[in-house]
Structures are given as structure tokens and as C-alpha cells.
Amino acid sequence: MNPAPPLRTIADIEHLLEAHADLHALLSHVDRLSLSDGWIGAGFIRNTVWDVLHGRIVDVSRLNDVDVIFFDPRDASRELESDMERRLRDIAPGTIWSVKNQARMHRRNGDRPYRDTFDAVAHWPETATAIAARSIDGKVEVMAPHGIQDLLNLIVRPTPAFEHKMGVYRERVSSKDWPTRWPKLTMLMTWEEAYPAPQSSFDRIET
């Protein structure tokens, strides 16, 4: 059964991940690697929260992959990422692991260099996806650069970093077909929907 408490705060999400044995095990596997600023992000948390909010059983086997992120500017080689993936497969061979050093990902994404993992996650496409978790000595910690309100309110919104990359955002979101699995989602597909311009003061003057 789902260990599904009411989800209102980051602490609630942390408790959810701690209470779900399979999710916490994946976090613990990553903790064993002692990665520099290492976390699991994206769908690992987003899908879990959306499943809970739709009254569904959280099923780790439905994850396409587990996105492990870390930040090590001293070695931004893909060989390091591949080595970490191999180590994780040895620990948990039934899981599809994807390991990415965020110290190099700005080049692929067309951004300025990221300062750390938090800064990298802040530049991910959707506010609901821009979230990550880690377990340190059994205690789960969640970071959410854009907060968790969109995630908890089932809103798909571009992050501010995608103001000038809305084509990429729309293509990505459309390819996911998320509403089929989570029909309560609200999909914001234009910048104007996502960030409505405040009304001019003149608009509020009665004549």
C-alpha cells in the first residue's frame, strides 16, 4: 500500500520518500557512492507525488529511468558518469540508472555554467520536475528551487529559464503524454498562460 500522508510541505514529501521502502532504497544506493553534491531528481519525485495525488499505488518499476545528478567540475568526463552507472547497476541491477554531472550539462542546454546542483536543477524545464532528493545516513532531504506548489497543485509550468526556449518546452511536454496517466494535470503551454502579465494600474481605474 501507499504510505501516502497528506502532501502539503517539503517535509511531507521527505517523509513519503522515507516511508516507501523501494524509493528510499534507491536514494540509499546513491548515498553509498559518496558523489559530490549527489541527488536523484526529476520523475523520481514528480511521478511519485502525482501518483499519490491521483490515489494510485507508487510503483518504482514504472520509472523509465532514475536520474542521478551530481556536481564535480574537476572531472566532467562522460567516463566518470558511465563508471557511476556501472556501480549502481551492480548494486541494483533491475534499475535503469542515468547519471549526469551537472558541471557539464550547461553546454548541452545552452546555459551559462551552473554553480552547483541546485543551480542546475533550477534550469530544468518544468517547475514540477525541478526537484531532487537525497538520503544521508537514512535521512531524506528534498530541494526544490522553484518550490513545490506547482507540483502539489498538479500544474505543469515552464521554469523562468525557459522563457526563450518555449519551443523546447512544448515539444518535450507534448511528447510525454502526461495527461493520459495523470488526468488532473493542468498543462500551461504558453508563456502567457504560465506567467500572466500583471494588470496595468490604468486597467483598475473605474470610469
**Residue 115 maps to a domain:** yes
CB burial class (10 A; 0-12, 13-18, 19+) of residue 120?
Answer: buried
**Residue 107 maps to a domain:** yes
Give me the chain's average pLDDT, please.
Answer: 93
Residue 207, pLDDT > 90, answer no
| pLDDT value at residue 197 | 86
Domain count, the chain: 1
36-91: pLDDT as tens digits: 999 999 999 999 999 999 999 998 888 989 999 999 999 888 999 999 999 999 99
- Grid coordinates representing 95? 534499475
**Residue 171 maps to a domain:** yes
| pLDDT value at residue 17 | 97
CATH number at residue 47: 3.30.460.10
**Residue 4 maps to a domain:** no
Q: Using the structure block, give the residue that is written with the C-alpha cell 556501480.
A: 87
| pLDDT value at residue 45 | 97
**Residue 166 maps to a domain:** yes
161-203: pLDDT as tens digits: 999 999 999 999 999 999 999 999 999 999 999 999 875 555 5
